[in-house]
Amino acid sequence: MQGLFSATSNSRPRTPPHRWAWWLVLWALWLAGCAQPIAKAPLDEDSWSGRIALQIDGQASQSFSAMFELRGTAQAGGLVLLSPFGNRIAQLDWKDGHAQLLSGQDTRTSNSLDTLLQDVTGTRIPVTALFSWLKGTQASATGWQADLTGIADGRLTARRSDPQPTATLRIALTP
């Protein structure tokens, strides 16, 4: 009985190795042609990506973490939250006094980004200060204290001590 990888099999002529290389090149070119271009933020728009985690302490402690892509400013922009596998968990867009959150089949809207974020997370997130912090600029936000010592390495930690319950926001940026 001849093995599957027997060199003495005469049932079919072998394809020369260089022909396989051409098929591989053609296949790679075909795949490249099917690829979707990655949307880049306009040059005048700020954008960040990485991991974000929010922990809210108290009787009903909550914690959330995800990968994220953030673009824009506190006045107009968007935030996409992604699972570790890159699947979209939620998308938040805001501009002109209107904010909308899409999560699965659910849509939530508000006339205020701050109000929508508080409704969703259970705590007030200092959006305006957050954009400053990401740029490495210290900004005040009532009850929040940001540690920007790691921002050059892409690390940001902000803690809220007042009002209770306490909250911690951690961001690790990707280069």
Share of the chain above pLDDT 70, in %: 73
CA angle 38, 44, 50 (to 5 degrees): 50
Residue 104: left if φ>0, alpha if ψ -120 to 50, beta else—which one?
Answer: left
CA-based angle 169:91:35, to the nearest 5? 115
Among 123, 129, 135, 132, residue whose Cα is nearest residue 167: 123
pLDDT digits (tens, 9 = 90+) for 38-58: 344 444 468 999 999 999 887
- Report whether pLDDT(164) > 90: no
| Residue 14: band (very low, low, confident or very high) from pLDDT cuts 50, 70, 90 | low
What CATH number does domain 47-173 carry, 3.10.129.10, 2.50.20.10, 3.40.605.10, 1.20.900.10?
2.50.20.10
Question: What are the pLDDT digits (tens) for 58-110?
Answer: 766 788 899 999 999 999 999 999 998 889 999 999 998 899 999 988 999 99
Q: What is the pLDDT of residue 175?
A: 82
Higher-confidence position of 53 and 13: 53
pLDDT given at position 165: 87
Sheet holding 167-173, edge to edge: 106-110, 98-103, 88-95, 77-82, 62-72, 47-56, 167-173, 155-160, 144-147
